[in-house]
Structure 1
């Protein structure tokens, strides 16, 4: 016998998704298997009333696809933006690639993920491997970010200058949190104003003190809902872990993203629904949840104008 749904909770979730932003989605096409493509993502998000999504692929900048979807499907009300991840395929810290992404309207520059030296160390002790890394591509080669664990490399500084000039977001990717501290401090010196710490709950070895301190320096802290919610194959943490992270950074500095789009797991939209339900169960008020799923991301990325009027005024 089917368990009856709580209609009142479903309606509350529906309302909270109006104007939501998912700033970290792994839709396709991609060299790795994906459960939906960028167009499907925007169609589903439009039905749910999302204000915007930001696509992320570990191997290419999706800005051209985002531009094409926006032009060819003006009836879709969810805005689509994209980003670039500084892994091997784009040449690591490739200033030309970052400038091109900026010129095409890209919003986020991610530090290395699958090619981060920290990620490659983590992968050896985890049960996870990127599904394309041994099937379709040669293994990732680590991209150094700092010299001797203390000095940010010159090629990184050049990219930071482009991010500052273009008013883009600098996201920490899969760097070890000790590297993130150094990169973020250097970024601030060079005029970068938009900083995001990527999923401190996993891979990057961040403590709650790191979360608190990095938020205090002005960065937003982005949490991957796929690592907390039931039904996700990436679940490694519990609801109380999310609560502790939110308390460490503060609601005003917390961003929730799906980090979904892969095959064999929840869709980004369903991941968001379950994440909002988790926040409700944790006792957060609607206005607090709205900040974490909408307003904070809009401010971090600089897309406040994409929000419905009531969201922009929140």
Structure 2
């Protein structure tokens, strides 16, 4: 069964790479608001690997909203903002950030995964070399700065979603477990099937601990030119992770790929045609659950 664009009415995309950014983008946040509003989206969140996005997204919502669509932002804890900088996290949360990400482009795992000519399409130009950080030591202990950030979210802003970033499965596991221990209520594991290279058993364990598992269009080769994952991986995630613990989003906006709206509809129809997901499942994974995570419901 294929769905028309109407399936996107009420959609909440928690992972959009809209500009401005040092990375080349298909759309900026204003363009995305125009597209999302026309499609009937309820909301979307702009993620940038290098800079906080709350200032721009707040202005887009306040002055450019189309059909009452809302635009949100967050902060990724990479070198450009001082890594585990709890002061930056505090400012971001007090400005309305809905997501805080563990390191992405500053992870050793990320850098290693895009070496040897495999340039990350979401990266920007930099005059300073980032050698990356591993934030779990040989004894399995989480970096103290990471613990401080997790503790801050748990105690000061539990409404904010803690996202796990681009670390190894070992690093992500440590983050999830510490977040659960400290009482963070909203945890989202970013694309565990891409870069993180988690096993399906690990994904299920994180979901059982309370984390939400992201299923994102951009990493699948059937949808995105930059994608490397097979369709079968999506089917396996749908099989082993309860629908209520999956977040369906685009992760699109890269210059080389289709726009986030087009890609999202293509991905939904891929999942429907190949794996039989229903409208009810789409509404839960792409509307109800992300709306809850972003504090809309």
Q: Does 1:188 align with 2:180?
A: yes
Q: Does 1:127 align with 2:118?
A: yes
Question: How many residues matched?
Answer: 294
Answer whether contact 2:216 2:249 (CA < 8 A) is retained.
yes
1:73-99 residue CA offsets vs partner (Å, 9 max, x unmatched)? 244421100110000100000011101
Greater Rg over alpha carbons, structure:
1
- Distance, in Å, in 2 between the alignment partners of 1:110 and 1:237 is 22
Q: Which residue, out of 154, 159, 164, partners 2:144?
A: 154
Deviation at 1:67?
Answer: 1.2
List 4+ stretches of structure 1 deviating above 6 A. none
Deviation at 1:130?
Answer: 5.1
Deviation at 1:298?
Answer: 1.6
Q: Does 1:233 align with 2:225?
A: yes
Q: Does 1:179 align with 2:171?
A: yes
Hey, what does 2:6 align to over in structure 1? 15
Higher mean C-alpha deviation, range 112-121 or range 148-157 = 148-157
Hey, what does 1:261 align to over in structure 2? 253
Higher mean C-alpha deviation, range 94-103 or range 63-72 = 63-72
Q: Does 1:141 align with 2:111?
A: no
Q: Does 1:163 align with 2:156?
A: no
- Distance, in Å, in 1 between the alignment partners of 2:193 and 2:167 is 13
Answer whether contact 1:224 1:257 (CA < 8 A) is retained.
yes
Hey, what does 1:290 align to over in structure 2? 283
After superposition, residues 60-79 of structure 1 pair within 5 angstroms as 60-79=51-70
- RMSD over aligned CA atoms reads 1.7
Answer whether contact 2:12 2:41 (CA < 8 A) is retained.
yes
Hey, what does 1:224 align to over in structure 2? 216
Higher mean C-alpha deviation, range 115-124 or range 19-28 = 115-124
Q: Which residue, out of 49, 52, 74, partners 1:58?
A: 49
Answer whether contact 2:34 2:66 (CA < 8 A) is retained.
no
**What TM-score, normalized to structure 1?**
0.89
What are structure 1's unaligned runs of at least 5 residues? 1-7, 305-314
Q: Say which SS state the counterpart of residue 114 (structure 2) adopts.
A: helix
Hey, what does 2:199 align to over in structure 1? 207
**What TM-score, normalized to structure 2?**
0.93
Answer whether contact 1:194 1:301 (CA < 8 A) is retained.
no
Deviation at 1:229?
Answer: 5.4
Deviation at 1:132?
Answer: 4.9
Hey, what does 1:278 align to over in structure 2? 270
- Distance, in Å, in 2 between the alignment partners of 1:130 and 1:73 is 28
What are structure 2's unaligned runs of at least 5 residues? none
- Distance, in Å, in 2 between the alignment partners of 1:91 and 1:249 is 34
Answer whether contact 2:102 2:165 (CA < 8 A) is retained.
yes
